[in-house]
């Protein structure tokens, strides 16, 4: 770790949130990862911070005010009365309404914004928020278990200080919400390594999707097939990221570290090992730039906890 300052965001309440019976997303995985971080005495090397919950004024930096108002108002008890809004904002199915859902969003988004601020102020060289990484949420639409896009909010915060920000996504699913948010920007380059084809969610992220207008060429998609192993993945990741670092020359990096790209994940189709997944971190960390590390997907809870503790 050397002399790098690492800030680690964790709220002990995060594991209490529950998407519902049978839902694959388990916020409890973040608590399990934290238990391993604690048991391995990693906390001695970290500045552990409990996040300040994001306020509406923070969330509307990206999300539409009426969407945020809806998330704040809807509950399992009144959702039938808000059926039209549920449909309008795509909150149903894989994005269910559950108890204290808005508070959950406030915690993970507040942590990512706070982590970005720590990097901006120079109080940390690396900042970690395993509860974040909700890369599918759109400006006024929930998607893929994601309600608030904490990544976009964090990048917007980083852009207040840094001219160019690089976003790298190693979740098995395409980082569509982040790419869409910065589709026309030349200050943010989005890079996503993901499964593509066979109607795999979200169905975007083909090779030809590379940004629009001023942002053309600033969205990089690496569509992959089933069964990617460590050697194959690293054989793509290293040369692609080396070329991007040389050409784009970012001033800060955001890494979405979805653990559903690990072998054996309930929703994933790749065969990465935990050390193989972690080598993506090591590669990016070696550039010595301010680095924001976020969670994301991951649906075999024990594997997710092991992976994120290892990467911590």
For residues 218 and 190, the answer to whether their CB atoms sit within 8 Å is yes
Per DSSP, helices labelled H in the chain are 28-39, 56-59, 65-73, 83-88, 101-120, 150-158, 176-181, 230-248, 274-285, 301-311
Q: Would you say 265 is a known binding-site residue?
A: no
Give me 301's structure tokens.
């809870």
The answer to whether residue 174 is catalytic is no
Tell me how crowded residue 235 is: count the other CB atoms within 10 A of its CB: 12
Instruction: Please identify which of the residues 34, 63, 135, 136 carries the catalytic annotation.
Output: 136
The Cα 213–Cα 237 span in angstroms is: 26
Burial class (CB in 10 A: 0-12, 13-18, 19+), 145: buried
229 annotated as a binding-site residue: no
Per-residue buried b or exposed e for 28-64, using 16+ beta carbons within 10 Å of the residue's own CB:
bbbbbbbebbeeeebeeebeebebbbbeeebbeebbe
Residue 63 three-state SS: coil
| Radius of gyration in angstroms for the set of CA atoms belonging to the chain, rounded to a whole number | 18
Residues forming the annotated binding site for substrate?
Answer: 94, 144, 299
Residues designated catalytic: 136
Residues forming the annotated binding site for a divalent metal cation?
Answer: 171, 173, 260
């Amino acid at each position: 770790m050397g002399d790098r300052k690492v800030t680690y965001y964790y709220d002990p309440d995060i594991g209490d949130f529950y998407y519902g019976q049978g839902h694959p997303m388990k916020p409890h995985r973040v608590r399990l990862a934290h238990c391993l971080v604690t048991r391995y005495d990693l906390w001695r090397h970290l500045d552990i911070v409990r996040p300040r919950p994001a306020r509406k004024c923070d969330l509307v930096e990206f999300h539409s005010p009426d969407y945020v108002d809806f998330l704040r108002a809807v509950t399992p008890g009144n959702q039938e009365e808000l059926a039209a809004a549920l449909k309008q904002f795509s909150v149903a199915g894989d994005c269910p309404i559950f108890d204290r859902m808005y508070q959950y969003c406030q915690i993970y988004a507040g942590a990512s914004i706070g982590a970005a601020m720590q990097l901006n102020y120079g109080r940390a060289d690396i900042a970690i928020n395993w509860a974040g990484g909700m890369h599918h949420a759109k400006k006024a639409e929930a998607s893929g278990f994601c309600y608030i896009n904490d990544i976009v909010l964090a990048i917007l915060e980083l852009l207040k200080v840094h001219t160019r920000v690089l976003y790298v996504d190693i979740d098995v699913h395409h980082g569509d919400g982040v790419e869409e948010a910065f589709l026309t920007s030349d200050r943010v380059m989005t890079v996503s390594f993901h499964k593509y084809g066979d109607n795999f969610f979200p169905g975007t992220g083909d090779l030809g999707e590379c940004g629009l207008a001023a942002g053309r060429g600033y969205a990089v998609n690496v569509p992959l097939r089933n069964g990617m192993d460590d050697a194959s993945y690293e054989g793509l990741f290293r040369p692609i990221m080396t070329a991007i670092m040389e050409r784009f020359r970012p001033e800060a990096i955001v890494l979405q570290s979805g653990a559903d790209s690990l072998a054996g994940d309930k929703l994933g189709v790749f065969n990465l090992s935990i050390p193989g997944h972690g080598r993506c971190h090591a590669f990016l960390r070696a550039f010595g730039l301010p680095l924001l590390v976020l969670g994301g997907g991951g649906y075999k809870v024990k594997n997710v906890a092991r992976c994120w503790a290892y990467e911590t």
